[in-house]
Amino acid sequence: LPTKSGWTIALYNYQGHWHYARQLQGVLSCQKHFQALHNDILLVTIPKSGTTWLKAILFSLLNRTRFHPTQDDHPLLSNNPHMLVPFLERWLYMEEENPDLSSFASPRLFASHLPYASLPKSVQDSKCKIVYLCRNPKDIFISLWAFTNKLRLQEMGTNSIEEVFDKFCEGVTLYGPFWDHMLGYWRESLKIREKNYFLTYEEMKEQPDLHLRKLADFLGCPFSPQEEKENMVGAILEICSFKMMSNLKVNKEGKLSYSEVNNNTFFRNGEVGDWKNYLTTEMVERLDKICEEKCDGSGLKF
Ligand code: A3P
């Protein structure tokens, strides 16, 4: 990836997708060593699709009997969601070739940005469940551009939107091409519905109650009549809301322990359609055309 300052970041293409060198080591270790259990749950996204939000939601949902979402010492109030739900290939297996996962509560919840074709074989072969969160590529792009500029700002100045956009459209972006990433999971979700759940950021924003209930059903932990009476759904959505999470001290001031990234970089504005404020008509046409061509015949639409 060439940058404005002339500084370059090398990306490597592995199994059709782009990775940083260091991160690729994590991918390889994870592929070699990770053994999925039948009741594991894996949240998969391409970066900037709303991973942080879904990590918080799935964590709260699965742990709601241990930690009631309204309790004062709920783990989400003092931990960034990335610390509660680690990325397999970016945190666990990047640090160690074969990390000890025995402390993870059952069912184990992990996240990943891996494309379907690069998932460890045990994930594909086992009955573990996969939740894929997809987002409109135009919003992913704006979120990604803003995110990388925030990370680069102090050192090198910002990348122009045109520069990053060209690469995004060519598919040269972390874990990209985005269309292959999305289509890989989309096709699996049509084939084996009880294993693969495909959800969009936009659906979740529009009808969060409905989709939280659907997620609970898919994961085999539906809300009981008592929980419905007590508005457990509303309580989970509240603690995971953008307003609540972005205002927590831990997310305003903290840093991820396994990287230099500030927690606040994961919270920008959390809206649908912010691309309208940045992309030119030509950019929109180019990206729409790519999406139409790549998704043609698949049933996936944005
Ligand atoms: P924007 O940059 O469009 O605001 P990821 O977690 O995959 O890195 O995605 C980050 C995007 O999710 C950012 O989008 C961020 O603001 C948004 N986000 C983070 N927490 C959220 C929440 N609780 N609700 C809705 N969106 C959230």
Atom of ligand 1 nearest to the CA of 242: 23
| Pocket perturbation via mutation, ligand 1, pick of 43, 45, 51, 53 by most ligand atoms within 8 A of CB | 53
ipTM exceeds 0.90: yes
Q: At what angle do helices 232-239 and 51-62 cross, to 10 degrees?
A: 140
For the stretch 71-88, pLDDT in tens is 999 999 999 999 999 999
Q: Which residue has the tokens 């500030």?
A: 262
Domain range 11-295, CATH architecture: 3-Layer(aba) Sandwich (3.40)
Clarify whether 113 is annotated catalytic: yes
Measured from the Cβ of residue 173, the count of other Cβ atoms closer than 10 Å reads 24
Atom of ligand 1 nearest to the CA of 55: 6
> What residues are in contact with ligand 1 under a 6 Å CB criterion?
45, 47-53, 139, 143, 146, 240-242, 245, 266-270, 274
Q: Is pLDDT above 80 for 257?
A: no
pTM listed for this prediction? 0.95
CA distance 270 to 246: 10
3-class secondary-structure state, position 185: helix
Indicate the pairing of strand 129-134 with strand 196-200.
Answer: parallel
> What distance, in Å, lies between the first and last C-alpha atoms of the chain?
27
For the stretch 12-68, pLDDT in tens is 999 999 998 888 999 999 999 999 999 999 999 999 999 999 999 999 999 999 999
Q: 247 CB contacts (<8 Å, ≥6 apart)?
A: none
pLDDT band at 150 (very low <50, low <70, confident <90, very high): confident
3-class secondary-structure state, position 175: coil
Measured from the Cβ of residue 55, the count of other Cβ atoms closer than 10 Å reads 27
Q: Which residue has the least CA distance to atom 19 on ligand 1? A: 267
- In 3D space, the residue among 263, 228, 276, 284 whose CA is nearest the CA of residue 78 turns out to be 263
